[in-house]
Structure 1
Amino acid sequence: MPKLTIDGVEIEVAPGTSVLQACEQLGIEVPRFCYHERLSVPANCRMCLVEVERMPKPAASCALPVGEGMVVKTNTPNVHKARKGVMEFLLINHPLDCPICDQGGECDLQDQAVSYGYDRSRFEENKRTVSDKYMGPLIKTFMTRCIQCTRCIRFVDEIAGVPALGGLARGEHLEITPALEAGVNSEMSGNLVDVCPVGALTSKPYSFNARPWELRKTESIDVMDAVGSNIRIDARGGEVLRVLPRLNEDVNEEWISDKTRYAIDGLKRQRLDRPYVRGADGKLKPATWAEAFAAIKAKVAGVAGSKIAGVAGDLVDVESTVALKDLLNALGSQNLDCRQDGATFDASNRAGYIFNSGIAGIENADVVLLIGTNPRWEAPLVNSRIRKTYLTGKLKKVAVVGQNIDLTYPTEWLGNSGSVLTDLANGTHPFAETLRNAKNPLIILGAGALRRGDGPAVQAAARKLAETVGAVREDWNGFNVLHLAAGRVGALDAGFLPGAGGHDLGGILSGAQKGEIEVVYLLGADEIEADRFGKAFVIYQGHHGDRGAHRADVILPGAAYTEKNATYVNTEGRVQQARLAAFPLGEAREDWKILRALSAELGQTLPYDTLAQLRQRMIALNPVFGALDRMVPASWGPFGTEGAVADAHFTSPVENFYMTDPISRASQTMADCTEAFLKPALAAAAAE
């Protein structure tokens, strides 16, 4: 390992480390614009110049590998002069937009101009102007501010995998532009706002809404998919104005999906802010909490527990799930299910329904098999992690059983029928040998594979495949289930499933239509068609006037994920806690508090009065809820049901990435994205 001296301090670093990275290890600040630790190194801004002994002129530290005995100086008059000269050139054409720029207050150029620039300019010519470019409904451009750092180009090429941006012309005439002015059609395009070091690329929905110092910042967890991305929620008053990523190397690194970032305008549209009760005329009418509880009590009184059922939705936190489970059990009901999509997999063994390798574990895989999943739409951060591993050269091959679509990296399509999985599990398919020869084979089973009628058989076949190809061993577990719903794994861990003699979702809906189920409690369940409940009395508790609320006889307004302190478990089984960033609207309340109050009204008072007590109940129910922010390995064992896998096609359940839940369906921004990106693609596919 080479040793070098930086500003009189000797340091030993790993081979291949750049001088800039070595400076960072010592805590020495080196200014930069084009350099980003997750992108390739272009060395084109020259802001990171340092002085190196025996070199004739200052060198760009981001692209200079360390060498044995190297002596580096970062704080000399020559370095200061060089950096000031570079800053002066960068500001030659940059407009004085700071007072009106959305990047103001958190702008790299602004900060470094103060720290490393002159207090005046010697440039007296006319400034260059560049026309703004169309990049879609999410990114607002002010290209005159661009300093050609090329971070945006490298991000879409390397991370997003969509070569949508490039540079035209050379020298002073260079312009960054999207291909054919078609916008940036990527599920991760919003990250361009974060990587841009100036105000050239800003958030279009957030434009001119607030200044960063006006916002109250809350660290929380995303629920738009099952990845559980770490986010920061910025709110002013009672309104959430933006969502930004938080660094978590094991989950989302420093990226988030566009739905996570931009669907928040759906939080203020079609909201439920007061209770409603359906009157004798069949219309929902505003009511007080007392009236809503009285209507529920009047209906539930005298109804046997076997005729009461509960369904938990996709965005529901663990606290609410446990409270509803305890309430329904106290009423004598075992008719519970959290799989509102109709999935019928075996949940008796935790290893059979989590992402066992962990999202970060994808980087250790050398062969990946995707079964019935489209990770680009279902979990963009998982997809980007697969692409990252492929670009390093460690991932040799990705195969797909399911829809043959562009996942931003090369794939081998094996087919889309169940027979392919059967052949793989039996070892008769050629790709089974590829998996056996792999050092760390990785199998990802998607939600689309488990929503079929033969879900348990598919699960068992995937388990058999994992065991026969060596994907499960003491030091490696490559069997993974990629869920769609943020609340799914937490509900499964809490046991929100049919009890002894209870019905699953299919049985609940069938019983409702036959009159055998008289009361159905929908906890944020919005993906079930209204006519499937028959004449059952439906109680809906949630935060949006979506499908569940339209069918309900009583509506109890709950809190969205930004409005409560709550626990979520992501697809890899990692327990994380979201925090309240804004208070619930109107008369809405946190979900577990509603259930606690209702239990007292029904004469089945739940044994907890505070959030801390409820969380102790959760840990007693399953100790995994006490292991915050870390993965708890699940013991391997049998799961699934041995049987024939039907020769039906594997398809992803996500037909529109931008609208998958009540919040994103209420979002105008997501509607604009659907119009701009999805409809043209569907029209082109239809024309072919």
Structure 2
Amino acid sequence: MPKLKVDGVEIEVPQGATVLQACELAGKEIPRFCYHERLSIAGNCRMCLVEVKPGPPKPQASCALPAAENQEIFTNTPMVKNAREGIMEFLLINHPLDCPICDQGGECDLQDQSIAYGRGHSRYAENKRAVTEKYMGPIVKTVMTRCIQCTRCIRFAEEVAGVEEIGAIYRGENMQITSYLEEAVTSELSGNVVDLCPVGALTSKPYSFEARPWELTKTLSIDVMDAVGTNIRLDSRGRQVLRALPRTNDDVNEEWATDKTRHAVDGLVRRRLDRPFIRRAGKLVPATWDEAFATIADVAKSAGGSVAAVAGDLVDCETMFAAKALLASLGSSLLEGRQTGMDYDTSSLGAVNFNSTIAGIERAEAILLIGTNLRWEASLVNTRIRKAIKRGAKVWAIGPETELTYKATWLGSDLAVLGDLPEALTEAFGAAERPAVIVGGGALKGAHGAALGLVETLGLIKDGWNGFNVVHMAASRMGGLMLGYAQPAGIAALHDAKLAFFLGADECDFSAFTGFKVYVGHHGDKGAAAADVVLPGASYAEKSGTWVNLEGRVQRGNRAVFPPGDAREDWTIFRALSAVLGAVLPFDTLGELRAAMALDCPELANEGLVTFAWNPPSLDRTAQGVMQGYPIKDFYLTNAICRASPTMQRCSAELVHGETLAEATE
């Protein structure tokens, strides 16, 4: 480990570190525009100049210079100061300086660094260059006259997203950043270039001209659009969430978020349920809470213990526990969270968990994907696979061929291939210290036993490593399984219940349920349309809740805004209903509910990664069936919030279905 001095302070840095990283370890702030910790080094903005001895008597770019033994680095000499001021002047030569109308205003690196490291006056007299706007799709708005050619967006698209559709054309002063043929960027991660852009060249199109950052209330929360559990920050003004931004968590999402995570928030204020409804003469009519509860109570009296609860994909653990407690007081344990009809074995949670962990899968050396389109089912796990490939991992896949953004050897769609894997695969897995199998929803039902058999066949479990992984697609799935939301026969066991509660469940076959249906949710979607009584609940942004991601990580989000109208937090609805039914639940506050939930499921008591015991069930190892497709047919319209979002509808139309959407001037 090299030892060197930074402004006279001796430090020791890891082998391979750059001078910029050494300066940061010494507590020095180095300005930069093109350098980013998670992208390759470009070294083209030259803002990170420092003075280095021994070396030529001129400033050097610290981001591209390796740290070496006995170096002396100076970050605040007159030479460095003058050099940075000169670079800042060059960067601002053609910049339009339109901060008052720029959406990046208030959180712009160029603003901040021009104040901190630029000159205190301007010397410009010449005309500025203008660049025509580029079209990058429904998510990213461009004002390319502001661009300083840092190339962060290009490197992100190529290295992280795996979609090489952003690049540079022309040279020198005429250089421009554009998408391929100025068409929409087809990546489900395209919104991240807005965060990466250090100026206002790339901004959020749905959020355009909505608010300034100092107007917004920031709330830490957890994303529910998939099962990854992306850590997010919800920015709200008044009673509306205006945007969702990712928070850095290296164990889960690093600092990225999918476009669905970012931009489905405009669906939170559309098609909302804001009052109870009761079906009378075939139509849903508005009602009071007392009337709705009285109607449910009448049905519950005759239902006996024939009461069921179906958990939707977005629901939190508190809601599921409150419903479970209410059903238990009525003498029922008919709970199910796999609303689409899957009925795989859940006797061992370790056998349905992502055991390698999201961050750990980066270290896998051989990977077999079984029935999963990771790009749509867990986009931020897919980026980890790309990182594993860069380290030398090889990937095989079983299922219909699809574009995963990396090279995979496809073995066909017949699940029976699990019983006769090619020799090249078995040899690679035999030589790998960290082999991994990832089973998706497309194969979990027909090939769960066969996939578990690979644990022995391919040697997936080694000292400190468990390479058996299952990908879930619903934010509520692992929490629901921990709380017992699973029946051996699947959701079919609930069809004959005389009273069924649907907790934000919109994807199940409601025609199969013969009894009285009560929908507790936040959007007037499929579930509300099929219900006999509708009770308006709160979305994930309107309540504090606990969610468990696909790797078994317990995480908690906070309430950003209040539900609209008469809508209430879901657990409070079940608490109030329990009093009407004569079976009062033993909690009145969120804290009391969480204490009771911790007694029922101790793993939910604290945030953090839960380690499930590895005791897989003995299942039939014969894989059956030919996969015709994957569970997710449209990445942008997977739940009620997305379907209510104009942005997600446009993304679906343009990026999935290929519709041509004209701009206003067209």
TM-score (norm 2): 0.97
2:634 equivalent in structure 1: 656
Helix, strand or coil at the partner of 1:617: helix
- Residue 465 (structure 1) aligned to one of 444, 454, 457: 454
Q: Which moved more, 1:98-107 or 1:611-620?
A: 611-620
**How far did 1:650 drift?**
6.1
2:61 equivalent in structure 1: 60
Helix, strand or coil at the partner of 2:420: helix
**How far did 1:627 drift?**
3.4
Does 1:527 find its partner at 2:507?
Answer: yes
Does 1:417 find its partner at 2:414?
Answer: yes
Helix, strand or coil at the partner of 1:559: coil
Helix, strand or coil at the partner of 1:301: helix
2:380 equivalent in structure 1: 381
**How far did 1:390 drift?**
1.3
Query: Does the 8 Å contact 2:310/2:335 carry over to 1?
Result: yes
Provide Cα deviations, 1:515-534, integer angstroms capped at 9, x if missing partner.
Answer: xx322111111002332224
Does 1:676 find its partner at 2:662?
Answer: no
CA distance in 2, matches of 1:63, 1:197: 19
Query: Does the 8 Å contact 2:168/2:176 carry over to 1?
Result: yes
CA distance in 1, matches of 2:537, 2:476: 15
Counterpart residue type for residue 476 of structure 1: W
**How far did 1:330 drift?**
1.5
2:325 equivalent in structure 1: 326
Provide Cα deviations, 1:1-58, integer angstroms capped at 9, x if missing partner.
Answer: 1111110101111121111000111110011000001111111001011111232211
Provide Cα deviations, 1:135-161, integer angstroms capped at 9, x if missing partner.
Answer: 001100000000011111111010100
CA distance in 1, matches of 2:367, 2:205: 37
Percent sequence identity is 56
Does 1:15 find its partner at 2:12?
Answer: no
1:361 equivalent in structure 2: 360
Give me the CA root mean square deviation.
Answer: 1.4
Provide Cα deviations, 1:544-586, integer angstroms capped at 9, x if missing partner.
Answer: 0111100101000000000001000000000000100001111
Provide Cα deviations, 1:452-478, integer angstroms capped at 9, x if missing partner.
Answer: 4x4xxx212111102222111331001
2:521 equivalent in structure 1: 542
1:636 equivalent in structure 2: 614
Query: Does the 8 Å contact 1:335/1:503 carry over to 2?
Result: no
Provide Cα deviations, 1:327-377, integer angstroms capped at 9, x if missing partner.
Answer: 112212232211102111111111011111100001110011111100100
Aligned residue runs from structure 1 range 240-259, under 5 A: 240-259=241-260
1:505 equivalent in structure 2: 491
Counterpart residue type for residue 496 of structure 1: Y
CA distance in 2, matches of 1:540, 1:241: 27
Provide Cα deviations, 1:371-391, integer angstroms capped at 9, x if missing partner.
Answer: 110010011100011112212
Counterpart residue type for residue 676 of structure 1: E
Provide Cα deviations, 1:383-407, integer angstroms capped at 9, x if missing partner.
Answer: 011112212x232x11101121111
CA distance in 2, matches of 1:489, 1:72: 50
Q: Which moved more, 1:632-641 or 1:39-48?
A: 632-641
Query: Does the 8 Å contact 1:365/1:394 carry over to 2?
Result: no
TM-score (norm 1): 0.94
CA distance in 2, matches of 1:223, 1:92: 44
Provide Cα deviations, 1:424-458, integer angstroms capped at 9, x if missing partner.
Answer: 4xxx76523322221110111101112x4x4xxx2
CA distance in 1, matches of 2:490, 2:52: 70
Aligned residue runs from structure 1 range 231-270, under 5 A: 231-270=232-271
Structure 2: 5+ residue stretches without partners: 661-666
CA distance in 2, matches of 1:14, 1:140: 40
1:443 equivalent in structure 2: 437
CA distance in 1, matches of 2:537, 2:138: 30
**How far did 1:643 drift?**
4.9
Provide Cα deviations, 1:489-517, integer angstroms capped at 9, x if missing partner.
Answer: 0010011233xxx96311323x3xxxxx3
Q: Which moved more, 1:114-123 or 1:175-184?
A: 114-123
**How far did 1:122 drift?**
2.2
Q: How many residues align?
A: 659
- Residue 624 (structure 1) aligned to one of 603, 616, 619: 603
Counterpart residue type for residue 229 of structure 1: T
Aligned residue runs from structure 1 range 279-358, under 5 A: 279=280, 281-305=281-305, 307-358=306-357
CA distance in 1, matches of 2:600, 2:176: 59
Query: Does the 8 Å contact 2:370/2:398 carry over to 1?
Result: yes
1:514 equivalent in structure 2: none
Query: Does the 8 Å contact 1:459/1:640 carry over to 2?
Result: no
Does 1:229 find its partner at 2:240?
Answer: no
Q: Which moved more, 1:414-423 or 1:397-406?
A: 414-423
**How far did 1:623 drift?**
1.5
Counterpart residue type for residue 641 of structure 1: L
CA distance in 2, matches of 1:338, 1:105: 43
CA distance in 1, matches of 2:108, 2:398: 45
**How far did 1:619 drift?**
1.4
Aligned residue runs from structure 1 range 518-597, under 5 A: 518-534=498-514, 536-597=515-576
